[in-house]
Amino acid sequence: MADPYLNPRFVHNAWYVAAWDHEIGAEGLFARQLLGKPLVFWRKADGSVVALDDRCCHRAAPLSIGRKEGDCVRCLYHGLKFDASGACVQMPGQERIPPNACVRSYPVVERDRFVWIWMGDAAQADATKIPAFFWHDSPEWRMKPGYIHYRAHYQLVVDNLLDFAHLSYVHPTTLGTANVAQVRAKVEPIDGGLRITRWSLDDDMPPNHQRVARFQGKVDRWQIYEWHPPAFMRMDAGSAPAGSGAPEGHVVPQAMRFRHTSVQTPETAGTTHYFFCQARAFELDDDAMTEAIFQDVSTAFAEDRAMIEAQQRILDATPDFRPVGTTHDQALNMARHILKQRLALEVAA
């Protein structure tokens, strides 16, 4: 039987982004559903983040409408109190707490302004495997963090990010030039993921670069990114004056250098959390430029979302769909194969 075009199962043995760091404040409780599971998050007094199932083990009330008490959370249905490990430490009206009175907790790591979570087999959670996003909090880069919610399966967003031919059609006034769809990207397997390289030499400056331009005229533009499963895209992108040597590694001072982040975490089989930012290595103190770049990317991502949610509605109405390939599909076909293998490994285990 053919694989479903949208796989209802998720990879579990992987680090996912649960939130931007600022979404989980020092006070209060934060609720978010990931991989179909409602979760509750909070910060301990030492600032570290806790993640538990958002479900009291007693009667399934959500802990997120409970109360934070020190480093613990109290369910405000019948008053059970849980510590940061998920162990029940108080049951009102009784001395003995049964050992199975606990809520599942998840390994959490905070790094590069992301709160990372591991929802699979905790014994396999290795924080050294978390991909780096150093431009999120480096003094040499500046960005504003973004988040959007999709009513679509995360694989449709992955597809989108792995085929930049859409820039010419979905983003003609933001990210794309007509040329993009004509150039086939170079795709290479790297350790467990993909590296995608696209150079546009002597091309028009794309609209979003024009709006923060530090020079005029034709550009040599690059988009070099790594994709790793389940859904991380890290991109080195930029425009330099045409012929100034960028392809050979000579980046002149007026070049515009960006680092881009696009990360998806499934909420359910039909909805997705999308974390993004566009960091730059120039004019770091120009707050208006930070905001302008953020707005530009937000506009472009709203263009993507309109298309992808429409695509999801068509797939919902006609689940028999089998795609016909194009030359630009190489990366996304490889990515789907990687995800399929990861899922097969988990099912086998």
The contact mask relative to a second copy for 320-339 (x = CB under 8 A, - = no) is -x-xxxxxx-----------
Stretch that binds a second copy, among 59-67, 218-226, 277-285, 336-344 (CB under 8 A): 59-67
The single residue among 213, 252, 302, 310 that binds a second copy, judged by CB under 8 A, is: 310
Q: How many CA atoms lie within 13 A of 87 on its CB side?
A: 5
Pairing mode, if any, of strands 271-280 and 146-150? antiparallel
Phi first, then psi, for residue 118 (nearest 5°) are -120, 115
How many helices and strands in the chain, by DSSP H and E? 5, 17
Is residue 216 within the footprint of a second copy (CB under 8 A)?
no
Q: Residues with Cβ < 8 Å from 173, sequence gap 6 or more? A: 207
Q: Are 243 and 217 within 8 A, CB to CB?
A: no
Q: Are 268 and 33 within 8 A, CB to CB?
A: yes
Is residue 76 within the footprint of a second copy (CB under 8 A)?
yes
The contact mask relative to a second copy for 166-205 (x = CB under 8 A, - = no) is x-xxx----------xxxx---------------------
Is residue 302 within the footprint of a second copy (CB under 8 A)?
no
Total binding residues toward a second copy, as defined by CB under 8 A: 57
Is residue 60 within the footprint of a second copy (CB under 8 A)?
yes
The token pair that represents 267 in the structure block: 């909420």
Cα torsion angle, 166, 171, 175, 178, sign: positive
The contact mask relative to a second copy for 249-288 (x = CB under 8 A, - = no) is ----------------------------------------
The single residue among 75, 175, 194, 338 that binds a second copy, judged by CB under 8 A, is: 75
Q: Give the CA distances from residue 343 to residues 172, 246, 346, 347, in Å, rounded to whole numbers and listed in that order.
A: 36, 39, 5, 6
The single residue among 13, 271, 311, 333 that binds a second copy, judged by CB under 8 A, is: 311
Query: Measured from the CB of residue 250, what is the shortest distance to a second copy in angstroms?
Result: 28
Is residue 89 within the footprint of a second copy (CB under 8 A)?
no
Is residue 247 within the footprint of a second copy (CB under 8 A)?
no
Distance CA 6, CA 319 (A): 9
Question: Nearest 5°: CA angle at 74, between 22 and 49?
Answer: 30
Contact set with a second copy (CB under 8 A) = 5, 33, 36-38, 53-55, 57-62, 65, 74-80, 88, 91-94, 98, 100-101, 159, 163, 165-166, 168-170, 181-184, 306-307, 310-311, 313-315, 317-318, 321, 323-328
